[in-house]
Structure 1
């Protein structure tokens, strides 16, 4: 079981479903949510400001969001200033469309360990346990 995960998605219903499925699968002790990439970056900036090293071990990341999308989040998160977090955190991209271009692009980010189609399921989480 993971200690903490971060779910980043602009759809509140999707976030609620993630929480339910993740809880049923006993996948993590704590679930943090963010409505877009900027909220997720703000979360990490707060961890950094308070010297809190207890960061999520996994991020479920949507790609298409207002304010800051998933690609922009990844471009910011992999910067050296977030190295204390991005070396401990893995990312699963979750998208409602499986565009081969997006799948290939996700492979260029070393912290992205998988690209999955929404919605998340208990079976997906079981498979992920093996990868983590």
Structure 2
């Protein structure tokens, strides 16, 4: 079981579903949320600050990331994360969780070392059961 997961999505129903499914699958002890890439990036900046001050913090081991969001979309978050703070979170992996069916998105995701999977919404217990051996 993972310690902490971050779910980044602008849809509150999707976030609620993620929390319920993650809990039901016993996939993670704690689930953090962000409504867009900007909120997720600011959360990671806060964690870097806490790390630098030797404060206690929860490091998300896995991020479920939507692509299509207002303010900052998933691609913009990945670009900023890679350019600025990915070295601080080398153990954190990203699973893109999107409703897109565009093959270009799948190919683009392969360009990011931090992205480990590209899954279609909605998240299911079966998906998480298949991921358990990889992330446990």
Matched residue of 2:30: which SS? strand
Show the counterpart of 2:15: 15
- The whole-number CA distance in structure 1 between the counterparts of 2:39 and 2:80 is 12
* Residue 80 of structure 1, CA deviation: 4.4
Show the counterpart of 1:126: 129
What does 1:94-113 align with in structure 2 at a 5 Å threshold?
A: 94-113=97-116
* Equivalent residue pairs, number: 131
Normalized against structure 1, the TM-score is what? 0.95
Normalized against structure 2, the TM-score is what? 0.92
Q: Say what the alpha-carbon RMSD is for the aligned residues.
A: 1.2
Show the counterpart of 2:64: 60
- The whole-number CA distance in structure 2 between the counterparts of 1:131 and 1:44 is 23
Deviations 1:79-114 (A, max 9, x none): 2434111x1100000111221100000000001001
Matched residue of 2:117: which SS? strand
